Structure 1
Amino acid sequence: MKAVQYSRFGGPEVLEVVEVDTPSPGPGEVLIKVGAVGVNFFEVMMRQDRYAVTPPLPFIPGVEIAGAIAALGEGVTNLSVGDRIAAALYVAGVQSGGYAEYVAVKADAVARLPDEISFAAAVALQVQGLTALHLLRSHPSAGRTVLISAAAGGVGSLLIQLAKRGGAKRVIAMASSAEKLALAQELGADAGVDYTQADWSEQVRAATGGAGPDLIFDASGGDIPAQCLALLAPFGRLVLYGPLSLADFRPDAEALKTLIFGNRTITGFSLLPHLAPTRLASELGDLFALALSGELKLLPGTSFPLAQASAAHAALESRRTAGKLVLEP
């Protein structure tokens, strides 16, 4: 079968299409013919060797797939060949292998996929959907003014809708262009701020009537977390998830005074500790149901053939994308 791997770290050009053996499902596993695989920014960072974990080389990226079951391993009785499923490889403790035509995975790491949900949509609701779901379960939006960075991205676009659904008083979207902000407001954001403008923090203050946000979800890294901290309302909370770079975030004495005397909080979020195989089908089922009912809209993403994985990575690095990027074998 065809797969995409890299044998050295570097730019998108290190991704190459290779022929590898098609896996066979072991006991308790299913073999999936992949219909779509998600492309995530942490995979870009892994390819650059900038992630928290350095992958062994050669390495086939990909942790979220959707497709149809092609074969069953010994002992699998609750699924059938041909079933449409979404498979979260990371829930099974697998951090690689999705950029391929076939993937073998533990049967308890899959969820049945309604016929009305496309493979690409199913992928968009895995890492990003579950992240948004658990961010708001951990930090409820009810009655709060919420600021969301990267609001036109996979997580941000879902956070806007789930925060509004959870009773947020006001949702402010941050993005890098007028087009992305327009998309965010179509999804329910009450205001939008272009963080590439020098006065973006003043715009946030104005959008909150001078009070500042009560809750900020930030995944942008760089110098933005420090500026977000300064914007927080008293008793507010800054949640950092999947940041691109914390190297530039070094709170100084003034920032610590802001925390202490304003009763403000900085907290981190990582998805994996929130997930369990026993809850996966239910949690993805909740997201699928919201999508089917129209309560959760997915931004149009971009699909690339598997062989063009390098182009997909380049597009994601450019930050000119919106919605979910997927590869289709």
Structure 2
Amino acid sequence: MRAIVVTEFGGPEVLVPAEIPDPEPADGEVLIEVDRAGVNYADTHQAENTYLSRTRLPFVPGAEVVGRTPQGRRIVSLVDSGGYAQRAVAEEGRAFDVPDAVDDASALALVVQGATAWLLLNRIARVQPGESVVVHAAAGGVGSLAVQLAKALGAGRVIATASTPEKRDLALSLGADVALDAETDDLTEALRDAKGGRRVDVVLDMTGGEVTDRSLAALAPLGRLAFYGMASRRPPTPVAPASLLAHSTSISGMWLPHAFTVPGLMPRVMDELFTMTAAGSLRVIHGGEYPLSEARRAHEDLRARRTIGKLVLDPSR
């Protein structure tokens, strides 16, 4: 079968098309004929070997696929690796049947970005009606869904940040009350101004570096910052526990695979996301489709922040 194989760690240049044997499902696994594979920031970290879990060479990247089983079931699933290929194997417990009303790209977005946004808002930050929510990278896969889900939860004010006017306009069209330039000179002050001079309640952050530092400084007492990535490749300044105590603020982190260890949680999340999407109350932004052979270009565009929404690969090309 055709796949992308990484034989050395590095940037997008290490994503090389190759012909490899078909995968063989073990007990408790299912074989999937891949119709589309999802592309994520986590994939770029995996290619560099800077992801949370270390990877051994050689490997086929890609953590999410949608397609059909030999029995004809249409499923979307997370996989440990192997998604950038024409066929993949997945654990039965990580596979979800996709409703007919949900297209492939949307299903891929929901199983990673949608579930991440849902969990950040409902389980990690525990957003309450009327609270203000800051969504960084609001035009991205997680951000574009988090804006909508925050409004659905009754957030009093959703403050989006994005790097271009077009991305900020998209965030506003999805329901954000304010959209700010992510590279503004004083992000802390800009976030406070967006809430009428008051501090914010919740921040969803996947950027790291100075964005995290300035967001933490903008938190109100009892405010929460939920950290789920470091796209800037720059770690934030370490925070002393005494500082959290002094300001009554919280910092939490989330890695999606841990949600699968909680019995019944992911099926509940996916059922709610599928229902909202099929009903038209949750809109997945389709960011672009690339041939599998051009996975390198997809990573280049993603890392250069030229994309919005959900990126997918077509293994037939």
- Residues 181 and 193 in structure 1, CA contact (< 8 A), matched pair in contact too: yes
Question: Are the structure 2 counterparts of residues 24 and 246 from structure 1 closer, same or farther at C-alpha, using a change threshold of 3 Å?
Answer: closer
RMSD of Structure 2 on Structure 1 (CA): 1.8
Distance in structure 1 (CA, Å) of the matches to 2:303 and 2:311 = 11
Hey, what's the Cα distance between the residues in 2 that align with 1:263 and 1:294?
Answer: 38
- Secondary structure of 2:160's counterpart equals strand
Q: Provide the residue aligned with 1:47 in structure 2.
A: 47
**TM-score, scaled relative to structure 1:** 0.89
State the distance in 2 between where 1:260 and 1:178 align.
37
Aligned ranges 1:193-204 → 2 under 5 Å: 193-204=180-191
Contact 1:147 1:172 in 2 (8 A): yes
Q: Give the distance between the partners of 2:93 and 2:52, measured in 1 at CA.
A: 27
**Code of the aligned partner of 2:103:** S
**TM-score normalised over the length of structure 2:** 0.93
Q: Distance in 2 between matches of 1:51 and 1:245?
A: 13
Structure 1 residue ranges without an equivalent (≥5): 71-80, 90-94
- Give the paired residue count: 312
Matched, 1:6 2:12: no
CA contact (8 A) 1:240 1:268 kept: yes
Alpha-carbon offset, residue 239 of structure 1: 1.4
Superposed CA offset, 1:254-301 (max 9, x none): x954x3332122222222222247543442122111001111011121
1:184 and 1:263 mapped to 2: Cα distance? 30
CA contact (8 A) 1:140 1:166 kept: no
Q: After the TM superposition, which residues 290-309 of structure 1 pair with which residues of structure 2 at under 5 Å, given as runs?
A: 290-309=276-295
Counterpart CA distance in 2 for 1:105 and 1:263 is: 42
Shift of 1:24: 3.2
Are residues 1:63 and 2:50 paired?
A: no
Deviation of 1:235 after TM superposition, in Å, equals 1.9
Partner of 1:125: 110
Tell me the distance in 2 between the aligned counterparts of 1:28 and 1:267.
33
Shift of 1:54: 2.8
Q: Quick one: structure 1 residues 252 and 324, their matched pair in 2 at CA, closer, same or farther if it must change by over 3 Å?
A: closer
Q: Structure 1 CA distance, aligned partners of 2:302 and 2:173?
A: 22
1:189 aligned partner, one-letter code: A
For residue 216 of structure 2, the aligned residue among 225, 229, 237 is 229
The answer (yes or no) to whether the contact 1:111–1:280 under 8 Å persists in 2 is no
* Higher radius of gyration, 1 or 2: 1
